[in-house]
A and B are shown apart, each in its own frame.
Chain A
Amino acid sequence: MSGSPAVVSPAGGSTAPVSDTAALPRAPRRRSMPQAVLGLFGLVALVALVEILPRIGVVPREYFPTSSGIGSALADLVGQGEFWTAVLDTLQGWALGLAIAAVAGVVLGILIGSSRFTRELTASTIEFLRPIPSVALIPIAILLFGTDIESKLLLVVYASFWQVLIQVLYGVQDVDPVAQDTARAYGLGRWARVRYLIWPTALPYVMTGLRLAAAVALILAVTSELVIGNPGLGKLLATAQSGGAIATSYAIVVVTGILGVLVNVVFRVIERRALSWHPSQRGELPA
């Protein structure tokens, strides 16, 4: 049995693998120096390609600005207060939504997951609600909240809640039965069992769920701004595009990509920190 948790659900309940095998907490990859250099080379090549292709006319230049064009549009944006307000608006919706989803997911996950009865009772409902695409909520979000932040939060929370909940459910079921019996035999109370037994067991799963949820939350925050028109980067993009500011549109897309990468990196670091004690993060030690 490898040290990686979160691949297949334990016996009982559904047997679907946890949503993302790639997102397992895994041993830090040993990146040799050349790998980093290669990666940098790849990025430079991408920038060069985007500069050259429109110039020599392989792609139509009016729709496909050059790297330098996107770069100068980006520089313009960075100088504007409006841009930073938009970034903050997006991040605010993202962070609030993620926090609500995380707390709700963890609390409900532990409540539902710690008894077999509640687990079986809710399984069918969860399996039905989870695959409902959160964009299905857009019309009702508009009707109820208009462009207030609540409509953005509704989408973000709905999408990221399931990511956390599912992982917590798997995590809670993963508790070692022997440890469970031992804790009971030693007379640990309910709270102590949650704190010292269930929580540490579920933590790797919680972290995986949080990382997935963080990525999804950003997607839904931007989507909501783009479609519903809440203030933020998505709205800025919609405005730029309809105003024909092509290079600016591309620059905003690049910014959302950078935000996405940052979110991934930050959550990987948090995961590694929080799980530094866990075998999956420690890597192999020579015996």
Chain B
Amino acid sequence: MTGILRRVGLMFGLPIVLLAAWWFASANSVDFFFPPLSKILESLVDEWFGPRLAADVVPSVLRLLAGYLLAVVLAVSLGVLIGTSRTVRGVLEPVLEFFRAIPPPVLVPIFMLFLGIGDGMKIVVIAFGCMWPILLNTVEGVRAVDSVLSDTARTYGITDSARLRKLVLPAASPQIFAGLRQGLSVAIILMVISELFAASNGLGFAVVQAQRSFAIAETWAGMLMLGLLGFLLAVLFRIVENRQLAWYHGLRRAQRSS
């Protein structure tokens, strides 16, 4: 019982202290840039969980998901193809490393040139930017599949598609998930950046609008909203990952304790 109390206390203690500190420190703030927390929360509930939720947050999230899923499908299938052949890997690796090294936001002005400023451009930018970490991690994961296992599977006459589903993808999945997590954080960055340049709706667009019109409390609230969104996506990702990689985490624990 005390154990549970202790854990709950540890989990919520610091956040509560920090929020309380912010609340009281800003309570009577007249500083233009640091409005009272009560005002910020008011704006968060009234604006961001009110009319802006459907008008700005939902379109942003949909574009994010569309771009991310596109990147996942493309990058994992390309990654498996590239990873299985030594020659293809050798030819493409430096090229891929170069594309990964380009800071993804610089692609926004370039893609704007020929895709305009609509949803299509934003989805393509998100997909293109978060593709590289997923692709390179998949290539690396597929490359590192235990050669004894894959030789055995081949000797037993297991077909290519069965080998892919039962051996290659599971074996590469810890590495693929590492890439997926990096890709997700790039996708969130690009979701915001793509809306800063040219947009008529979206979370990033609305936050910058608020900032330009010096609606300070609303700006802070928008930042909190972006933070909440990032946190929520990270939690969802963690749940999916823990389900998919339960076998792997178990294996690592067993290896560590032995």
Query: Which residues of A approach B to under 8 Å, CB–CB?
Result: 1, 7-8, 10-11, 15-17, 19-22, 34-35, 38-43, 45-46, 60, 63-64, 120-125, 128-140, 142-144, 215, 218-219, 222-223, 226-227, 234, 237-238, 241, 246, 249-250, 252-253, 256-261, 263-264
Docked CA distance A45–B222 (Å): 45
The interface stretch among B22-30, B145-153, B228-236 is B228-236
CB atoms of A264 and B101 under 8 A apart: yes
| B216 contact set on A, CB distance < 8 A | 143
Q: Which of B10-18, B70-78, B118-126 contacts A (4 or more CB under 8 A)?
A: B10-18
User: Could you tell me which residues of chain B, from 229 to 258, have a CB within 8 Å of some CB in chain A?
Assistant: 230-231, 233-234, 238, 242, 249, 252-253, 255-256, 258
Known: A7-B252, A22-B179, A133-B226. A241 touches B113 (CB 8 A): yes
18 A-B residue pairs with Cβ-Cβ distance under 8 Å, sorted by A, are A8-B256, A40-B94, A45-B91, A121-B13, A123-B10, A125-B15, A130-B234, A131-B234, A132-B227, A133-B226, A136-B192, A136-B223, A139-B219, A140-B220, A143-B33, A226-B108, A253-B110, A256-B103
- Bitwise, B79-110 to A at CB < 8 A (1) or not (0) is 00000000100111111011111111111111
Q: How far is the CA of A253 from the CA of B196 in the complex (A)?
A: 19
Give, as a whole number of angstroms, the nearest-CB distance from B137 to chain A: 5
Task: Give the chain B neighbours of A142 by CB distance below 8 A.
Answer: 211
Best-buried of B90, B100, B252 by chain A (most CB within 10 Å) = B90
Give the size of the chain B interface in residues (CB under 8 angstroms): 74
Most-contacted residue by chain A among B98, B100, B101 (CB, 10 A) = B101
- Answer whether A260 and B102 are a contact pair too, CB < 8 Å, given A20-B178, A35-B90: yes
List the B residue with the shortest CB-CB distance to A32.
Answer: B90
Interface contacts (Cβ under 8 Å), in number, total: 195
Q: Is B156 an interface residue (CB 8 A)?
A: no
> In the assembly, what is the distance between CA of A189 and CA of B212, in Å?
54
Chain B residues near A138: list those with CB within 8 A. 192, 196, 207-208
Considering the complex, give the chain A residue whose CB is closest to the CB of B6: A120
Closest A-B pairs by Cβ, 10 of them = A260-B101, A38-B90, A139-B211, A131-B234, A136-B226, A132-B227, A42-B91, A21-B178, A257-B102, A241-B109
CB distance from A62 to the nearest CB of B (A): 9
**Cβ of B217 to closest chain A Cβ, rounded Å:** 12
Alpha-carbon gap, A134 to B100, bound state (A): 19
**B127, CB-defined interface residue at 8 Å:** no
Q: Are A22 and B175 neighbours in the complex by a CB distance under 8 Å? A: yes
A139 and B255 form a contact (CB under 8 A): no
Which residues of A lie under 8 Å from residue B103 when comparing CB positions? 218-219, 222-223, 256, 260
Q: Assuming A41-B91, A226-B109, A241-B110, is B14 touching A122 (CB within 8 A)?
A: yes
- Asked whether A16 lies within 8 Å of B14 as measured between CB atoms, the reply is no
CB of B109 to closest CB in A, whole Å: 4
CB-contacts of B1-42 with A (<8 A): 7, 10-15, 18, 33
Interface pick from B43-51, B158-166, B180-188:
B180-188
Question: Residues of A contacting B137 with CB < 8 Å?
Answer: 21-22
A35 to B90, CA, bound (A): 5
- Please give, as numbers and ranges, the residues of chain A lying within 8 Å of B97 by CB-CB distance: 261, 264
Minimum distance in angstroms from A237 CB to a CB of chain B: 6
B249 cross-chain contacts in A, Cβ below 8 A: 8, 15, 17
Q: Is B193 an interface residue (CB 8 A)?
A: yes
B136 on the A face (CB < 8 A): yes
CB contacts (< 8 Å) of B179 on chain A: these are: 22
* Binary A-proximity of B121-149 (CB < 8 A = 1, otherwise 0): 00000000000010011001000000000
Q: Bound state CA distance, A63 and B114, in angstroms? A: 6
Does B59 sit at the interface, judged by CB under 8 A?
no
Is there an interface contact between B14 and A42, defined as CB atoms closer than 8 Å? no
Known: A17-B174, A132-B231. 19 other contacts (CB 8 A): A7-B174, A17-B249, A38-B87, A42-B90, A42-B94, A42-B95, A45-B91, A64-B114, A123-B10, A124-B14, A135-B188, A135-B226, A136-B227, A136-B230, A138-B207, A143-B33, A143-B211, A250-B110, A256-B103
